[in-house]
């Protein structure tokens, strides 16, 4: 077995543990915050890469799934169950260890479902929504598919922006930390900065490992066939609609997990996360990464989000992503339907020069 496909996974894992002490020594530990957030955005991009690059289906609704994850988890985790604390249901949940206690900033005692419960419910919700809308949506192709997913993303954005229970324009805040493992909590703050960076990059490495394995399996070959030609893949016995739906759900789950973790890390989520422009960013990142290129998507996702979060692009933030999209499309070699574009273009240029 060749180790080459796993090198990016190893590199990520090494960085996860090596970067915090290095950056701390270099007195720039503050970068870790943006690198952590970038990792979660990159995680959502990886999910889209599976859908766009490998299954060949465009989606302009990735931010919708990110928001479903983040909003659902924070909504559930911030419900105060104190009023029904003595009910048999609450007692049973408590016995099962599914409740967590705390106090809000005003000193009011809180009793809520544990973030593990809210996280799992949120991801299941995203998967269910993806399955439900994926069935009709994925029958469409080309601009109809793009418009339908864009419409889905817009609905999610308008709903979270217009719903009082979800905080309307302010979003949800005071989201509790997420104790992933004993002693490891996904939460903001200086003390947890290094450990959270490690958590996020390890999660990203695990997600990448899962995708690398998936695409080297029978399912991966089926997907590649699907990408190259749906009719041909179908004629060769690939159940194309099932594969498309499964990858769509997989992409949604990645986005939802990213949304959950980033929301617990930031302690809040706003309607901006559901913005269609965010979905376009994910598409831009996958395009720059070279479409069917997990490593490329990963690098582009980490780099572009890091620069954007550091404010390098200033007020041109959105414009940069638009320009990136146009240039990637224009520079990509002719004849290639969509895939493998940018990196292979660079490689070819490199060889020619």
Partner 1 sequence: MPPEVVLQYLISGLIYGSIYAAVAIGFNIIYNATGIINFAQGEFAMLGGMFASSLSARLPLALAIAVAMVLTALSGAVLERVFLRRVARGGVLKMIVTTIGLSIVIREAALLAWGESVRTLPFFTGNEVSSVSFLGANFSPQVFWVVGVTALTVAALTAFFRFTLMGKAMRGCSASREGASLCGIDPDRMVTIAFTLSAGIGAVAGCVVAPLTQTHYAIGSGLAIKGFTVAAFGGLGNSVAAVVAGLFLGMLESFSIVFVPEAYKDVVSICVLLAVLFVKPSGLFGSRAAGALKDY
Least Cβ distance, residue 123 to partner 1 (angstroms) = 23
Assign 65 to helix, strand or coil. Answer: helix
**C-alpha span between 122 and 313 (Å, rounded):** 33
Q: Pick from 29, 269, 250: which is nearest to 138 by CA?
A: 250
Beta-strand relationship, 99-103 and 109-113: antiparallel
Buried b / exposed e over 8-35, threshold 16 CB at 10 Å, is bbeebbebbeebbeebeeeeebebbbbb
Nearer CB in complex with partner 1: 232/337: 337
CB of 291 to partner 1, least distance (A): 10
Binding site for partner 1 (CB under 8 A): 58, 60, 136-137, 139-144, 146-148, 150-152, 154-155, 158-159, 161-163, 168, 276-277, 280, 283-284, 287, 315-316, 318-319, 321-326, 329-330, 332, 334-338
Question: Which CB contacts under 8 angstroms, 24+ apart, belong to 101-104?
Answer: 102/176, 104/174
Smallest separation (angstroms) from partner 1 to the CB of 37: 22
| Residue number, 52 or 76, with CB nearest to partner 1 | 52
Which residue's CB is nearer to partner 1, number 13 or number 286?
Answer: 286
Q: How far is the CB of 224 from partner 1 (least distance, A)?
A: 17
Q: Which residue number, 235 or 316, has a Cβ lying nearer to partner 1?
A: 316
Nearer to partner 1, 105 or 142 (CB): 142
Tell me how far, at minimum, the Cβ of 322 lies from partner 1, in Å. Answer: 3
Judge contact between 32 and 20, C-beta under 8 A. Answer: yes
- What's 52's DSSP letter? I
């Amino acid at each position: 077995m060749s180790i080459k496909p796993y090198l990016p996974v190893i590199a990520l894992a090494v960085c996860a543990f090596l970067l915090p002490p290095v950056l701390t020594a270099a007195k720039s530990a503050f970068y870790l915050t943006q690198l952590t957030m970038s990792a979660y955005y990159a995680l959502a991009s990886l999910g889209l890469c599976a859908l766009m690059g490998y299954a060949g289906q465009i989606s302009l609704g990735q931010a919708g799934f990110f928001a479903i994850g983040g909003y659902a988890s924070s909504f559930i985790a911030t419900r105060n169950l104190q009023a029904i604390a003595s009910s048999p249901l609450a007692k049973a949940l408590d016995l099962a260890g599914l409740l967590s206690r705390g106090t809000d900033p005003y000193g009011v005692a809180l009793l809520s479902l544990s973030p593990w419960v809210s996280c799992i419910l949120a991801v299941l919700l995203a998967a269910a929504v993806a399955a439900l809308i994926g069935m009709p949506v994925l029958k469409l192709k080309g601009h109809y598919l793009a418009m339908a997913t864009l419409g889905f993303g817009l609905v999610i954005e308008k709903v979270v922006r217009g719903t009082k229970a979800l905080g309307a324009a302010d979003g949800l805040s005071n989201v509790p930390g997420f104790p992933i493992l004993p002693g490891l909590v996904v939460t903001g703050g200086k003390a947890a900065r290094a450990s959270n960076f490690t958590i996020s990059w390890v999660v990203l490495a695990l997600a990448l490992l899962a995708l690398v394995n998936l695409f080297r399996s029978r399912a991966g070959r089926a997907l590649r066939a699907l990408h190259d030609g749906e009719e041909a893949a179908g004629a060769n016995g690939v159940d194309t609609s099932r594969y498309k739906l499964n990858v769509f759900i997989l992409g949604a789950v990645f986005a939802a997990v990213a949304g959950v973790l980033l929301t617990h890390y930031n302690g809040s989520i706003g309607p901006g996360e559901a913005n269609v422009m965010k979905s376009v960013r994910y598409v831009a990142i996958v395009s720059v990464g070279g479409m069917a290129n997990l490593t490329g998507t990963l690098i582009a996702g980490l780099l572009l989000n890091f620069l954007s979060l550091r404010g390098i692009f200033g007020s041109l933030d959105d414009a940069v992503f638009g320009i990136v999209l146009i240039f990637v499309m224009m520079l990509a070699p002719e004849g290639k339907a969509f895939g493998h574009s940018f990196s292979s273009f660079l490689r070819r240029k490199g060889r020619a020069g």
